[in-house]
Amino acid sequence: PREPSGEAEFAQRIDPAREPGLSAQQRQHMAQVERAQRQRALQRRLRSRNLLLALGIGAVTLGVYGYTFYSVSQERFLDELEQEAEAARARA
């Protein structure tokens, strides 16, 4: 059957319970295909969510790592202790 626009119908949504020409096996197959499509959509959403979570965790990890190096490079107390030790050695 053709629509008035001249194009054939594709993927027309039907209600399996109301369609008179479908056998029980065809209904079961349609339900199985719908479940598989829902599962694929869920996996796609989870994959993107997991990717965002991994990027967030990586960013936090790199931030902590970078801050640690920055703060350690700012610490001067060991330099001061070393200078005091050298001054004490020079006096002795």
- CA–CA distance, 42 with 56 (Å, rounded to integer): 21
Calculate what percentage of the chain has a pLDDT beyond 70. 85
Mean pLDDT computed over every residue of the chain: 84
Question: Strand, coil or helix: what is 2?
Answer: strand
Q: Structure pTM?
A: 0.48
What is the C-alpha R_g of the chain? 34
